[in-house]
Amino acid sequence: MAFGGNQDRLMSEINVTPFVDVMLVLLIIFMVTAPMMIQGVDVSLPETAAEPLKTEEEPLTITVDKDGLVYINDLKVQVDFLQEKLRKILQGRKDPEVFFRGDQGVAYGIIVQVMSEIKEAGVVKLGMVTDPPPPEIEPK
């Protein structure tokens, strides 16, 4: 009896085309949704014409939003525990530097209280973050 040759044998190769198609679709989905996943604290900063500060390491940012809530980078913290948390965070840094972002609609008293807590935590350099003024349109 003669067998049908190679036609009855199982194919041992993997077809990667469907796998590549699925991976490309997932890549496109992640590329589209990744910018939407970046979150931060929404703050309306005052405008100034000051030059930006240059830093060597990743800066620590303290933010007070329009509702008076305080954040260390993106982590919400109560004002009562701000000084304690800052001391723990800044222990390993040789030159404690903090950037402060305060919403322009927040009461001055809250801003001063948070700045006082930052300074009492041992921060040597406290930088204020502002927005640059809009460029002036020159008449033609």
Domain spans of the chain, in order of start: 5-37, 41-140
CA separation (Å) from 51 to 8, 119, 126, 127, 128?
76, 23, 15, 11, 11
Using the predicted structure, report yes or no on whether residue 10 has a pLDDT greater than 60.
yes
pTM of the model: 0.57
What local confidence, expressed as pLDDT, does residue 45 receive?
59
Which residue has 């001063």 as its token pair?
A: 112
Average pLDDT of the segment spanning 69-83: 87
Length of the chain measured in residues: 140
Pairing of strands 97-102, 70-72: unpaired
Q: What is the pLDDT of residues 13-69, one digit of tens each?
A: 888 888 899 999 999 998 888 877 665 656 665 666 666 656 566 778 888 888 888
Using the predicted structure, report yes or no on whether residue 107 has a pLDDT greater than 70.
yes
Return all residues near 131 (Cβ < 8 A) that are at least 6 apart.
45, 46, 47, 48
What local confidence, expressed as pLDDT, does residue 16 receive?
85
Distance CA(37)–CA(138), nearest Å, equals 38
Element (DSSP H or E) covering residue 109: helix 108-120
How large a percentage of the chain has pLDDT more than 70?
A: 76
Using the predicted structure, report yes or no on whether residue 106 has a pLDDT greater than 80.
yes
* Domain covering 41-140: architecture: 2-Layer Sandwich (3.30)
Which pLDDT band, with edges at 50, 70 and 90, does 102 fall under? confident
What local confidence, expressed as pLDDT, does residue 21 receive?
92
What local confidence, expressed as pLDDT, does residue 27 receive?
93
What local confidence, expressed as pLDDT, does residue 23 receive?
93
